[in-house]
């Protein structure tokens, strides 16, 4: 008896150890005895009207509309907040329409004496533009504790002490909520708040140049904030409310409950696009007051994490780097799906939901997905309705994969994955630093000419068509100038579609890159025959700054750049660094050649051409401008100043053409390429028109949960037969051990010592 107890235990232990994986698998099978067992979402959720989408890397950093300026924040911010204007969901070129505003306000122009000017007055004569924007009545905020009132009409949560919020970590921990109607004052508050010294306000510096009095207002608010904080430590986070209601300024006023007046310096037609961005969201003072209470900031209870808005959705859960949940705003004001779009939309089925109320989905759940492999797998299993809701690059990856692999093409087609494509206002280019003595402007006219020829030679040598073929897998268009095809100003028969410095016209009229001989000739004329300095005989070595470190994936790309320059005998020294260092160098102007890109803020040529406007030079404005190449050309600047005042039309087109010709000739950029973008949706999502400009697109997505549930079941039927097989295999492995053990236990003592001595 004494011997069998431990023996049995050993046997059981051995069995459990060997069978552990199989037992676990078996238990899993039992716990998940429904049709599918690999569903990462709660069982049954696939049948609900909930969109599931992943987010990458980390949670959005800023959900406060004053601070938010990053693509990954838009799936939340543009669904929760409503700026005054928005873009028509279907029409292309993009058309601005009123969101909370009844319509796009017609600007009134005033001269310096305040007299009204006609609409066609020259831009220089206009001292001020006045926008009187009518706001739709009856719009109400989503339920939020900041609005909660008791029976006496007093705010429930406006006078809390630190201990009252001790156990509160989410805005949903406050049980009572309320709402109120949106007024013009909320927009006034939001515009005043752009000048806040308390939080990041990336649009302030630009807006201070345009909104009347905003700059002075910002300076005043800095002083007021200092006074409010005078007895506090700079690192203190519980600050008294900076109540912008008490500090008016003339640039933004509420004429009445539903009329907002904004005064803009001079003429700035692009201002209307800013009004479609979340910087111009309404901010209810109640929310500011609510979040300014002691203990809130330390608990992350701020507008940066818990936004308050009138949009189709409200944020109901925020678990950092794990999950965000948007739920339908029950007070949403009943916008409907559009009934017209661009030609072809009807055939693509984008008009089927004409006139139906928005939003379609009740809930949107964003789950963190750090690694690409699980993300792709879950999308293919149908557990994500889209692999990226705010970006259009993953769709392109799917298209590339289909081209590479017939099996994948078959799978995607069988699963009915939709990959609609578009070319968006987005570019990648190589810039030459204008401040650099070798590739820049040049100190003397002779030097300037030589440097220009060098840049032109390099522009010819860098074969962007090859780059697109290799690194973008054909998903892109080589750029002829700085302007992408989707914007006004780009025309197929103009300089924006043909760069004569780098290309010639082929027999079919299409651009053909000039030969390397021409590049070499230009290089020789620049003073570097065969890539060597004609005077010193030393080889020409140029420095190329790249914005991420040389990982194996990047290495191939960097080698490609070296090869491009080597084709005409120029040596390229690559300085690959992390993005921070790269930005630092760009700000200081200590780069020679660099690679960078731009995603437009709004669909206007000005938003690309301003990157070449002299006064915006990054190194000359201490990093505040976006002219990364520090390009200076008086003629270009003059044209730009004229162009920025103009509305879209022939005159603006003419100026754009002239500006493009100038930069093509100066070759300050090697214009790179415009990537093709593609959305990716499962077949149960309809209305998924690809866009990177329309940011409130989630409310337009129509989910068909019944179809999803049916297909998920078909696609994810668990395969059980290997489970008993694994068990049998393990038993087969254990049985000989069992017999051996039995034999060893029964062995006589005579053999044991011999075995031991043999092993030791």
The window from 281-289, 329-337, 654-662, 747-755 that contacts another protein (CB under 8 A) reads 747-755
- Minimum CB–partner distance for residue 349 and another protein (Å): 31
Burial category of 622 from C-beta neighbours within 10 Å (exposed 0-12, middle 13-18, buried 19 and up)? exposed
Site membership for another protein, residue 759 (CB under 8 A): yes
Site membership for another protein, residue 197 (CB under 8 A): yes
The window from 2-10, 268-276, 479-487, 569-577 that contacts another protein (CB under 8 A) reads 2-10
Q: Which residues contact 16 (CB under 8 A, 6 or more apart)?
A: 23
422, 583, 590, 710: residue in contact with another protein (rule CB under 8 A): 583
Closer CB to another protein, residue 379 or residue 503? Answer: 379
Q: Which of residues 41-70 bind another protein (CB under 8 A)?
A: 41-42, 57-58, 61-62, 68-70
Q: How does DSSP classify residue 307? A: -
1, 227, 535, 749: residue in contact with another protein (rule CB under 8 A): 749
The Cα-based distances of 663 to 172, 440, 591, 706, 741 in angstroms read: 54, 13, 20, 55, 85
- Residues making up the chain, counted from first to last: 760
Site membership for another protein, residue 20 (CB under 8 A): yes
Site membership for another protein, residue 713 (CB under 8 A): no
Site membership for another protein, residue 370 (CB under 8 A): yes
Closer CB to another protein, residue 32 or residue 542? Answer: 32
Site membership for another protein, residue 548 (CB under 8 A): no
Closer CB to another protein, residue 151 or residue 749? Answer: 749
Cα–Cα distance measured from residue 544 to residue 513, given in angstroms and rounded to the nearest whole number? 23
Closer CB to another protein, residue 177 or residue 203? Answer: 203
Site membership for another protein, residue 27 (CB under 8 A): yes
- Dihedral-angle region of residue 416 (phi above 0 means left; psi in -120 to 50 means alpha; beta otherwise): left
Closer CB to another protein, residue 535 or residue 749? Answer: 749
Site membership for another protein, residue 716 (CB under 8 A): yes
Q: Which of residues 79-138 bind another protein (CB under 8 A)?
A: none
Helices 445-461, 650-666: axis angle to 10 degrees equals: 90
User: Is the distance from CB of 421 to CB of 676 less than 8 angstroms?
Assistant: yes
User: Is the distance from CB of 266 to CB of 128 less than 8 angstroms?
Assistant: yes
47, 161, 162, 237: residue in contact with another protein (rule CB under 8 A): 237
Other Cβ atoms within 10 Å of 144 Cβ, number? 23
49, 172, 206, 548: residue in contact with another protein (rule CB under 8 A): 206
Cα–Cα distance measured from residue 644 to residue 652, given in angstroms and rounded to the nearest whole number? 8
Closer CB to another protein, residue 23 or residue 477? Answer: 23
DSSP string across 637-703:
HHHHHHHTTPPSSHHHHHHHHHHHHHHHHHT-EEEEEEEEEE--B-TTEE-----SS---GGGG-EE
Q: Which of residues 140-169 bind another protein (CB under 8 A)?
A: 169
User: Is the distance from CB of 315 to CB of 80 less than 8 angstroms?
Assistant: yes
Site membership for another protein, residue 740 (CB under 8 A): yes
Closer CB to another protein, residue 137 or residue 298? Answer: 298
φ and ψ at residue 494, rounded to 5 degrees: -115, 180
The window from 11-19, 268-276, 447-455, 527-535 that contacts another protein (CB under 8 A) reads 11-19
The window from 5-13, 129-137, 531-539, 661-669 that contacts another protein (CB under 8 A) reads 5-13
Site membership for another protein, residue 577 (CB under 8 A): no
Site membership for another protein, residue 200 (CB under 8 A): yes
Q: How does DSSP classify residue 532? A: B
152, 235, 492, 536: residue in contact with another protein (rule CB under 8 A): 235
The window from 392-400, 406-414, 696-704, 732-740 that contacts another protein (CB under 8 A) reads 732-740
Closer CB to another protein, residue 299 or residue 654? Answer: 299
Q: Which of residues 613-632 bind another protein (CB under 8 A)?
A: 622-624, 626
Site membership for another protein, residue 758 (CB under 8 A): yes
- Minimum CB–partner distance for residue 22 and another protein (Å): 10
Q: For residue 674, what are its two tokens?
A: 């415009």
Q: Which of 547, 560, 569 is nearest to 469 (CA)?
A: 560
Site membership for another protein, residue 367 (CB under 8 A): yes
CA angle 557, 561, 566 (to 5 degrees): 140
The Cα-based distances of 353 to 344, 431, 679, 686 in angstroms read: 15, 45, 19, 9
Site membership for another protein, residue 555 (CB under 8 A): no
Site membership for another protein, residue 9 (CB under 8 A): yes
Q: Which of 147, 167, 145 is nearest to 295 (CA)?
A: 167
Q: Which helix (H) or strand (E) holds 17?
A: helix 4-31
Closer CB to another protein, residue 15 or residue 400? Answer: 15
Q: Are strands 571-576 and 541-546 parallel, antiparallel or unpaired?
A: parallel
Q: How far is CA 726 from its chain centroid?
A: 46
Q: Which of residues 651-710 bind another protein (CB under 8 A)?
A: none
- Minimum CB–partner distance for residue 498 and another protein (Å): 30
Closer CB to another protein, residue 298 or residue 403? Answer: 298
Closer CB to another protein, residue 61 or residue 149? Answer: 61
- Minimum CB–partner distance for residue 701 and another protein (Å): 22
The window from 81-89, 344-352, 364-372, 461-469 that contacts another protein (CB under 8 A) reads 364-372
φ and ψ at residue 67, rounded to 5 degrees: -100, -25
By CB under 8 A, the count of residues binding another protein is: 92
Site membership for another protein, residue 373 (CB under 8 A): yes
User: Is the distance from CB of 59 to CB of 321 less than 8 angstroms?
Assistant: yes
Cα–Cα distance measured from residue 444 to residue 354, given in angstroms and rounded to the nearest whole number? 63
- Minimum CB–partner distance for residue 24 and another protein (Å): 5
Site membership for another protein, residue 285 (CB under 8 A): no
Site membership for another protein, residue 729 (CB under 8 A): no
Site membership for another protein, residue 38 (CB under 8 A): yes
Cα–Cα distance measured from residue 31 to residue 147, given in angstroms and rounded to the nearest whole number? 44
Residue with tokens 């916008």: 335
User: Is the distance from CB of 114 to CB of 348 less than 8 angstroms?
Assistant: no
Closer CB to another protein, residue 368 or residue 562? Answer: 368
Site membership for another protein, residue 725 (CB under 8 A): no
Q: Which of residues 386-405 bind another protein (CB under 8 A)?
A: none
Site membership for another protein, residue 247 (CB under 8 A): no
Site membership for another protein, residue 216 (CB under 8 A): no
SS (H, E, C) 56-118: CCCCCCCCCCCCCCCHHHHHHHHHHCCCCEEECCCCCCCCEEECCECCCCCCEEECCCCCEEC
Q: For residue 249, what are its two tokens?
A: 């300024």
φ and ψ at residue 605, rounded to 5 degrees: -55, -30
Q: Which helix (H) or strand (E) holds 224?
A: helix 214-228
Q: Which residues contact 500 (CB under 8 A, 6 or more apart)?
A: 664
Closer CB to another protein, residue 268 or residue 700? Answer: 268
77, 79, 179, 203: residue in contact with another protein (rule CB under 8 A): 203
Q: Which of residues 291-330 bind another protein (CB under 8 A)?
A: 297-300, 302, 304, 319-322
């Amino acid at each position: 008896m004494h011997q069998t107890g431990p023996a049995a235990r050993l046997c059981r232990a051995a069995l459990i150890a060997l069978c552990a994986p199989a037992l676990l698998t078996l238990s899993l099978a039992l716990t998940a005895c429904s049709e599918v067992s690999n569903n990462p979402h709660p069982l049954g959720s696939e049948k609900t009207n909930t969109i599931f989408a992943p987010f990458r890397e980390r949670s959005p950093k800023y959900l406060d509309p004053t601070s938010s300026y990053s693509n990954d924040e838009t799936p939340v911010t543009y669904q929760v907040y409503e700026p005054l204007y928005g873009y028509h969901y279907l029409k292309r070129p993009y058309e601005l329409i009123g969101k909370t505003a009844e319509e796009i306000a017609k600007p009134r122009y005033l001269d310096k004496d305040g007299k009204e000017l006609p609409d066609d007055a020259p831009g220089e004569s206009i001292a001020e533009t006045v926008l009187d924007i009518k706001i739709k009545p009856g719009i109400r905020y989503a339920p939020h504790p900041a609005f909660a009132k008791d029976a006496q009409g007093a705010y429930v949560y406006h006078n809390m002490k630190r201990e009252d919020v001790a156990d509160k970590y989410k805005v949903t921990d406050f049980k009572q909520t309320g709402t109120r109607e949106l007024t013009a004052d909320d927009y006034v508050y939001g515009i005043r708040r752009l000048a806040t010294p308390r939080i990041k306000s990336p649009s302030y510096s630009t807006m201070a140049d345009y909104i009347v009095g905003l700059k002075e207002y910002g300076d005043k608010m800095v002083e007021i904030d200092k006074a409010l904080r005078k007895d506090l430590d700079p690192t203190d986070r519980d600050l008294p409310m900076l109540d912008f209601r008490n500090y008016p300024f003339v640039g933004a006023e509420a004429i009445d409950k539903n009329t907002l007046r904004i005064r803009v310096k001079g003429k700035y037609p692009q201002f209307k696009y800013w009004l479609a961005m979340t910087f111009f969201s309404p901010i209810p003072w109640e929310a500011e007051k609510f979040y300014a209470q002691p203990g809130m900031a330390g608990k992350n209870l701020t507008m940066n994490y818990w936004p308050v808005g009138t949009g189709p959705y409200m944020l109901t859960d925020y678990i950092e780097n794990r999950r965000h949940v948007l739920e339908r705003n029950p007070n949403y004001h009943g916008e409907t799906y559009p009934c017209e779009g661009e030609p072809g939309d009807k055939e693509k089925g984008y008009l089927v939901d004409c006139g139906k109320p928005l939003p379609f989905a009740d809930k949107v759940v964003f789950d963190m997905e750090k690694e690409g492999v699980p993300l792709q797998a879950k999308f293919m299993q149908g557990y994500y309705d889209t692999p990226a809701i705010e970006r259009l690059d993953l769709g392109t990856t799917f298209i590339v994969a289909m081209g590479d692999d017939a099996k994948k093409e078959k799978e995607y087609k069988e699963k009915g994955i939709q990959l609609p494509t578009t070319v968006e206002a987005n570019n990648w280019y190589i810039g030459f630093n204008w401040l650099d003595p070798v590739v820049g402007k040049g100190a003397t006219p002779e030097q300037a000419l030589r440097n220009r020829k060098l840049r032109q030679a390099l522009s010819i040598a860098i074969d962007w068509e090859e780059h697109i073929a290799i690194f973008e897998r054909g998903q892109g268009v080589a750029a002829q100038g700085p302007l992408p095809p989707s914007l006004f100003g780009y025309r197929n028969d103009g300089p924006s579609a043909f760069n004569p410095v780098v290309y010639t016209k082929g027999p079919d009229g299409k651009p053909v890159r000039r030969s390397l001989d021409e590049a070499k000739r230009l290089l020789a004329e620049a003073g570097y025959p065969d890539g060597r300095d004609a005077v010193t005989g030393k080889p020409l070595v140029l420095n190329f700054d790249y914005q991420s470190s040389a990982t194996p994936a990047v290495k191939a790309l960097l080698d490609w750049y070296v090869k491009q320059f080597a084709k005409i005998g120029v040596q390229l020294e690559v300085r690959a660094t992390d993005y921070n260092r790269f930005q630092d160098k760009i700000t200081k102007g200590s780069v020679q050649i660099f690679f960078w890109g731009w995603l437009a803020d709004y669909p206007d040529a000005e938003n690309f051409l301003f990157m070449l406007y002299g006064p915006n030079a990054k190194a000359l404005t201490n990093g505040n401008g976006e002219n990364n190449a520090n390009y200076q050309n008086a003629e270009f600047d003059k044209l730009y100043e004229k162009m920025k005042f103009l509305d879209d039309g022939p005159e603006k087109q003419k100026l754009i053409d002239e500006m493009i010709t100038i930069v093509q000739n100066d070759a300050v950029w090697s214009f790179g390429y415009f990537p093709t973008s593609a959305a990716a949706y499962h077949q149960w999502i309809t209305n998924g028109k690809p866009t990177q400009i329309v940011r409130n697109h989630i409310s337009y997505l129509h989910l068909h949960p019944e179809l999803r549930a049916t297909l998920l079941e078909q696609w994810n039927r668990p395969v059980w037969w290997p489970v008993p097989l694994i068990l049998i295999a393990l038993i087969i492995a254990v049985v000989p051990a069992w017999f051996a053990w039995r034999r060893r236990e029964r062995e006589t003592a005579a053999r044991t010592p011999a075995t031991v001595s043999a092993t030791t």
